[in-house]
Amino acid sequence: MLFIMGDLNIKLKTPQTGEYDQPTGLLYSHHSFINNEFVKGVDGKTFEVINPTTEDVICSVHEASEKDVDIAVSAARKAFEGSWKTTTPNERGRLLVKLADLWEKNMDLLASVEALDNGKAFTMAKGDISAGANCLRYYGGWADKIQGKVVDTNAETFNYIKKEPIGVCGQIIPWNFPLLMWSWKIGPAIAAGNTVVLKTAEQTPLGGLVAAALVKEAGFPPGVINIISGFGKVAGAAISSHMDIDKVAFTGSTLVGRTIMKAAAGSNLKKVTLELGGKSPNIVFEDADIDNAISWVNFGIYFNHGQCCCAGSRIIVQDTIYDKFIQRFKERAAQNNVGDPFAKETFQGPQVSQLQFDRIMGYIEEGKKAGATVETGGKRKGDKGYFIEPTIFSNVTEDMRIVQEEIFGPVCTVSKFSTQEEAIKIGNNTNYGLAAAVHTKNLNTAIQVSNALKAGTVWVNQYNMLSHQLPFGGFKESGVGRELGDAALDNYIQVKTVSIRLGDALFG
Ligand code: ADP
């Protein structure tokens, strides 16, 4: 990848769009930093961004320290107490819709940067940008529809309930859908009238910075949306323990989610929402259309290289069709094109980093040692880039680590059930509860199993079909609160009750 180091913008090239200006700084405005400008980190430190396809360095970006988080928070506070407070809901909505339009206008650029930085296929990245633009526009539509109510309690009192923004929101996002998560976080927070300091994941800072330039172009006042690049243990920890951040929203691993909740509890008890891991069951009954079911099962686990919190990683198949299912699923998985994200036919690119690659390969070795059978895959693909073959394990037992722990890669397990009751029992045998799916033609089975599964989303005869209109989030250890839909607005609103005594009769 060609690049010329500049100060805060560099020229990068992507195979899809050619040369573009990549901002490398942190975007915030405060005192001497004016008008949504990109700035360097206070300590002048930078970190390298690696291309997972080639393992080469793409460029370096400025790293946020605790001091940078402080500056960004005070910018967000100043905006929240100042200009943003008097910005009308209509104007907030208009700005979000403008931002959505700019995402669409710059779709190829944003998708290329995402494919370069994260390794996902360019065509899939376009899907992310389109979904992200829809999400921003959807919350733009909500901005002037957040309404309170009047409640009659007795003749002497007039009560109204207001929905107010929470304040300065810290948002910490992961690397698997960098720009989509950016939109999921910023959309509802801004619609509700908050200001934000959002930290991208250290593996994938590039797209968030390009999108930050669009924030400025859309016309947001300075300090309303602040984007920083930095590490979890430094900038992420500074956000979750900050005394002047009123709310923290996080998407990532359950392990880090716990740390964030503790940091929030140990600082100012800021409000917390968490969208965490999963080990989602994907249940196939004998009466399902088997070819369709296999297509969805394949998409359920291998989409985004298995790097989805809701990945259908535990496939549970009725014993009567088990052998046929394994045979056909193996054939289907082998057809997935694994390769260069910018090649037209690519479905699966590389894993995001060496660390993730090593973790996944470690789980594959662990599964083999535990006695599971590798039906297909199980190896690195090629000798450059973090590519892993789509992998299926059979002959698994419920206690195996590959069945219980989130692998976050293109690896699934297939187990058997005989009765509906058993399918539900196996499906719920996990500490997670993000998503689940049922494949059947029987309406009773579909509804009974969906109702019995302990998961925030249950798909029937499909998988991974998220919509910005539908709430998404976890039961059990998969999270706190909901993303998307009107439910996400609740994460960014606080309810105020005003109760007024009428008349002038003496009290008591
Ligand atoms: P993964 O393990 O898959 O990389 P993480 O949950 O570690 O996922 O990362 C998701 C996000 O959480 C990233 O933006 C990362 O920088 C951030 N993060 C990691 N550790 C911490 C922490 N201790 N405090 C706050 N944020 C963190």
Confidence of residue 423 (pLDDT cuts 50, 70, 90): very high
Angle of helix 107-118 versus helix 206-218 axis, rounded to 10 = 160
For residue 427, which of 328, 264, 313, 309 has the smallest C-alpha distance? 313
* Poorest-pLDDT segment among 14-18, 190-194, 445-449: 14-18
CB 245 within 8 A of CB 73: yes
State how far the Cα of 253 lies from the Cα of 270, in Å rounded to an integer.
20
Given a cut of 50, whether residue 147 has pLDDT beyond it is yes
Band (pLDDT 50/70/90 cuts) for residue 508 is confident
Distance 182 CA to ligand 1 centre (A): 15
CA separation (Å) from 371 to 329, 400, 476? 21, 9, 29
256 C-alpha to center of ligand 1: Å? 6
**Ligand 1 atom at shortest distance from the alpha carbon of 240:** 25
Residue 12: its H or E element: strand 9-14
Q: What is the pTM of this model?
A: 0.97
Secondary element (H or E) of residue 165: strand 157-165
Q: Which atom of ligand 1 is nearest to the CA of 173?
A: 14
> Token pair of 486, please?
């009107």
Radius of gyration over alpha carbons of the chain, in Å?
24
Nearest to 198 by CA among 492, 233, 189: 189
What is the residue with the minimal CA distance to atom 20 of ligand 1? 232
Q: What distance, in Å, lies between the first and last C-alpha atoms of the chain?
A: 79
Question: Whose alpha carbon is nearest atom 16 of ligand 1?
Answer: 232
- Give mean pLDDT, residues 158-164: 98
Give 377's pLDDT tier (boundaries 50, 70, 90): very high
State in Å: Cα 354 to ligand 1 middle: 16
Query: Residue whose CA is closest, atom 24 of ligand 1?
Result: 237
Task: Write out the two tokens for 285.
Answer: 């009954």
Smallest CA separation from ligand 1 atom 21, residue: 232
pLDDT over 80 (residue 376): yes
Which atom of ligand 1 has the smallest separation from the CA of 203?
4
pLDDT of residue 37: 80
Angle between helices 122-142 and 107-118 (to 10 degrees): 120
Tell me the C-alpha distance between 85 and 310, whole Å. 36
What is the DSSP code (8-state) at residue 343? S
pLDDT, residue 7, reads: 58
Task: Ligand 1, residue 256: give the atom nearest the CA.
Answer: 6
Domain 281-460 falls under CATH 3.40.309.10: yes
- The pLDDT mean for the chain works out to 95
What span, in angstroms and rounded, lies between the C-alpha atoms of 297 and 414? Answer: 11
Taking only the tens place, the pLDDT of each residue in 2-48 is 333 335 889 999 998 899 999 999 988 765 455 578 988 999 999 99
CB neighbourhood size of 157 (10 A): 13
- Taking only the tens place, the pLDDT of each residue in 336-375 is 999 999 999 999 999 999 999 999 999 999 999 999 999 9
Q: Which residues, in sequence order, are CB contacts of 156 under 8 Å at separation 6+? A: 501, 502, 503, 505
- Output the six-digit token pair for 37: 């400008």
204 alpha carbon, distance to own chain's centre: 13
Q: What is the DSSP string of 294-316?
A: HHHHHHHHHGGGG--TT---EEE
Which string of DSSP letters, residue by residue, matches 97-117? Answer: HHHHHHHHHTHHHHHHHHHHH
Q: Give the residues across from 494 on adjacent strands.
A: 164
The residue to which tokens 């002047």 are assigned? 244
**Phi, psi of 16, rounded to the nearest 5 degrees:** -85, -45
Q: Using the 8-state DSSP alphabet, how is residue 366 labeled?
A: H
**Ligand 1 centroid to residue 450 C-alpha, Å:** 31
Residue 139 CB-half CA count within 13 A = 32
Q: How far apart (Å, rounded) are the C-alpha atoms in residues 451 and 389?
A: 35
pLDDT score recorded for residue 36: 72
* Residue-wise pLDDT tens digits, 92-107: 999 999 999 999 999 9
- Name which residue sits closest to atom 15 of ligand 1, judged by CA: 232
275 carries an active-site annotation: yes
Query: What is the spatial distance between Cα 237 and Cα 241, in angstroms, rounded to a whole number?
Result: 6
**Cα angle vertex 138, ends 459, 27, to 5°?**
110
User: Among 63, 117, 118, 172, which is best to mutate for testing ligand 1, by the most ligand atoms less than 8 A from CB?
Assistant: 172
**87, 145, 226 from 496: Cα distances, Å:** 20, 17, 27
From the candidates 114, 202, 275, 477, give the one annotated as an active-site residue.
Answer: 275
Crossing angle of helices 178-191 and 107-118, in 10° steps, is: 120
pLDDT, average across residues 227-239: 98
Q: What is the DSSP letter of 472?
A: B
Q: Which residue, judged by its Cα, is nearest atom 25 of ligand 1?
A: 236
Percent of the chain with pLDDT over 70: 97
Long-range contact list for 366-374, CB < 8 A, 24+ apart?
Answer: 366/401, 366/402, 367/393, 367/396, 367/400, 367/401, 367/402, 367/411, 367/413, 370/397, 370/400, 370/401, 370/402, 371/395, 372/396, 372/400, 372/402, 372/413
pLDDT score for 1: 33
Comma-separated ranges of CATH 3.40.309.10 domains in the chain: 281-460
pLDDT score of 138: 98
pLDDT of residue 507: 83
Alpha carbon of 120 to ligand 1 centroid (Å): 20
Question: Which residues lie with the beta carbon below 6 Å from any ligand 1 atom?
Answer: 172-174, 199, 201-202, 231-233, 236-237, 240, 252-253, 256, 259-260
At the top level of CATH, which class does the domain 64-276+482-493 belong to? alpha beta
Identify the pLDDT of residue 6: 39
Q: Name the β-bridge partners of 473.
A: none
Domain with CATH 3.40.605.10 in the chain: 64-276+482-493
3-state secondary structure of 74: helix
Q: How far apart are CA 149 and CA 199, in angstroms?
A: 35
Whole-angstrom Cα distance, residue 7 to residue 454?
Answer: 51
How many Å lie between the centroid of ligand 1 and the Cα of residue 45?
Answer: 19
> In whole angstroms, what is the distance from residue 379 CA to residue 288 CA?
31
**Which ligand 1 atom sits closest to the C-alpha of 255?**
6
- What confidence tens digit (pLDDT) does each residue in 452-473 have? 999 999 999 999 999 999 999 9
Average pLDDT over every residue of 180-203: 98
Span of 153-167, 184-198, 494-508 with lowest mean pLDDT: 494-508
- Residue 482 tokens read as 């909901």
The rounded Å distance from CA 70 to ligand 1 centre is: 19
Given a contact cutoff of 8 angstroms between Cβ atoms, the answer to whether 49 and 235 are in contact is no
